[in-house]
Amino acid sequence: MPLDPANSTQLREPGGSRKPLPPWASTAALLVPTYGWLTLAVFLPLCTMFAFSFLTATPMGKAPIVFTFKQYRAFIDQPYLLGVAWQSLLMGFWTTFFCAVLGFFAALALVRATEGKVRETLLILVLLPFWTNGLVRVFSWTMVLREGGFLDYAIHSVWPGAGSVGFLYTRQAVVVGLVHGYLPYMILTCYIALVTIDNTIVEAASSLGARWWTILWKILLPMAAPGLISGSVLIFVPVIGSFMEPRILGGRVGVTMGTVIEDQFTQAFNWPLGAALSFTMLAVVLGIFATFSGVLRRGTAL
């Protein structure tokens, strides 16, 4: 980096006439814009919504504002919500499970069967779709899974008499779309954990007669555990809050906590209930983060 000598003549000019700011003032000046913006856009809204969750109804016009805890009783008052919550948790569980199984072995295959430039290219190829529009990727699955879609076409070209196997608008379709969306996450976190394992440990184990499943259970899986756990948390949390995937791939059966909350804000106009459900979900999310915070910190420190 060449330093322009002509530039250095101007250095003293501004400093001479003005007193330099005290360090705390310049630090504050650097931080205020960012944190002011975050306060306006994230923290004040979250506080407002928290306050909202204790109202009886969306404040409109001159109607008096009444505080209540009844929104948080929604799960008792409207038992169907319990079923919806259960479905959302199941959706989160199955998505995380399939991502963990598929992602762990994909990371393992990358670490043990590829190297150098090839590995780097494959890893970028795995991660690339993750940074493209999630909505578009979900839409892509409707092309594959619909009746008469690509899946049917592929099967019929092999076995012309087969019936339709298209399963768009089912819960399975939602899970397939979500696994597709979040799998790269798990591959990355598992890869980061596995790539640090010293190859000589595995070689030592196998030269001492350990079978591959012993190596898998006793060495690889325990050492990849931080990656598996942080990947699982990073997948489970957004999945239970998803609403676009269930709407597009699940159709009428795709009712989840996410879609119920969205409905309160866009259709039913019951903002206090939506806020209470959001904060219930947020409590679950924070609980998960708190439980795994140690693992997450180690997982992201890399």
Partner 1 sequence: MKIAARFYIAAILAFLYLPILVMMAMGFNESPLYELPFSFSTRWYQALAGNAPLVNSGINSIWIAVATSIIATVLGTMASVALSRRTFRGKTLLQLMLLPPIAIPWLITGTAMLVFFFYSGIGRGLHALLIGHVALAIPYVVLVVGTGFQTVRADLEEAAMSLGSTPVHAFFSITLPLLYPSILGAALFAFAVSLDQFVISYFLATPGFSTLPVQIYSAIRKGFTPEINAISTILLVGSMAVIVIFALFAKPGGVSDKR
Q: Which of residues 194-213 bind partner 1 (CB under 8 A)?
A: 195, 212
Per CB under 8 A, contacts with partner 1 among 130-149 are: 131-137, 139-144, 146, 148-149
Distance CA 124, CA 130 (A): 10
Per CB under 8 A, contacts with partner 1 among 74-113 are: 102, 105-106, 108-110, 112-113
Query: How many residues of this chain bind partner 1 (CB under 8 A)?
Result: 101
3-state secondary structure 41-73: HHHHHHHHHHHHCCECCCCCCCCCCCECCHHHH
Return the range that interacts with partner 1 (CB under 8 A); candidates 68-76, 82-90, 197-205, 261-269.
Answer: 261-269
- Contact with partner 1 (CB under 8 A) among 6, 11, 65, 208: 11
Binding mask 57-76 for partner 1 (x = CB under 8 A): --x-----------------
Q: Which two tokens stand for residue 302?
A: 């890399």
Q: In degrees to the nearest 10, what's the CA dihedral of 10, 13, 18, 20? A: 40
* Smallest separation (angstroms) from partner 1 to the CB of 133: 5
* Smallest separation (angstroms) from partner 1 to the CB of 302: 7
First to last CA, the chain: 29
- Contact with partner 1 (CB under 8 A) among 82, 289, 290, 294: 289
Return the range that interacts with partner 1 (CB under 8 A); candidates 65-73, 76-84, 181-189, 197-205.
Answer: 181-189
Q: Which is nearer to partner 1, 171 or 181 (CB)?
A: 181
Is 302 an interacting residue with respect to partner 1 (CB under 8 A)? yes
| Residue whose C-alpha is closest to residue 106's, from 127, 131, 136, 130 | 127
* Smallest separation (angstroms) from partner 1 to the CB of 270: 12
Please list the residues that pair with 67 across neighbouring strands. Answer: 55
Residue 156: enclosing H or E segment and its boundaries?
helix 150-158
Q: Which is nearer to partner 1, 171 or 194 (CB)?
A: 194
Q: Which is nearer to partner 1, 171 or 273 (CB)?
A: 273
Evaluate the CA torsion angle 216, 221, 224, 229 in order and state its sign.
Answer: positive
Is 5 an interacting residue with respect to partner 1 (CB under 8 A)? no
Is 242 an interacting residue with respect to partner 1 (CB under 8 A)? yes
* DSSP string computed for 122-135: HHHHHHGGGGS-HH
Tokens 């012993």, located at residue: 214
Q: How many CB atoms lie within 10 A of CB 180?
A: 20
Is 295 an interacting residue with respect to partner 1 (CB under 8 A)? no
Is 163 an interacting residue with respect to partner 1 (CB under 8 A)? no
**Number of residues that make up the chain:** 302
* Smallest separation (angstroms) from partner 1 to the CB of 196: 9
Tokens 């330093």, located at residue: 3
